[in-house]
Amino acid sequence: MIRKILIVFMLLCQLSASGCAVVALGVAGLGAGLGMYTYIDGELKRMYQANHEESVQAVNMALQELNISVKEQKPYEQGSTTVIKAERMDQLPVKITVKTEAVKVNEIGVRCGYVGIWDKQASEQIHSAIAQRLVR
């Protein structure tokens, strides 16, 4: 337990020095066992304590469970970011971004719907399915 607290403290120090308060708050919530979400411009974001490959795998398993078909999956920035484009059965587009923030800490952003008409509830449902696989 003390080790986890020290890791979170070190991450907070590093992130606060870089001026990324939103990320620092997300990591603080993660360290406290809370699932803190941010909802910005139609994208519901949450921090998860897992490496990048585990996070991408959890996203793909969650989409499969929810019968959401993956249309495209692209890694960017030397494997630190992966964008997954998918489509629900009702043709609602889904875009999921997995971005590595620190060692074993990833931010997953879920955006469901068309530009200007976002479905926050659908994004929450996808995050719930992802969290079942990543939150320990």
Angle between helices 120-134 and 52-65 (to 10 degrees): 120
Measured distance CA(72)–CA(60) in Å, rounded:
11
Model confidence pLDDT, tens digit, residues 21-80: 444 444 444 443 345 667 667 788 999 999 999 999 999 999 999 999 999 999 887 778
Would you identify the CATH topology of the domain 37-134? TATA-Binding Protein (3.30.310)
Answer whether 28's CB lies under 8 Å from 102's CB.
no
Higher-confidence residue of 55 and 2: namely: 55
Percent of the chain with pLDDT over 90: 43
In Å, what is the CA distance from 37 to each residue of 22, 73, 111? 10, 23, 13
Tokens of 132: 């079942």
Residue 114, Ramachandran bin (φ over 0: left; ψ between -120 and 50: alpha; else beta): beta
Q: Cβ-count burial of 56 within 10 angstroms (0-12 exposed, 13-18 middle, 19+ buried)?
A: buried
Lowest pLDDT segment from 28-37, 81-90, 94-103, 126-135: 28-37
Mean pLDDT of 85-106: 91
Mean pLDDT of 95-114: 90
Continuous segment of H or E residues that includes residue 3: helix 2-17
List the chain domain ranges.
37-134
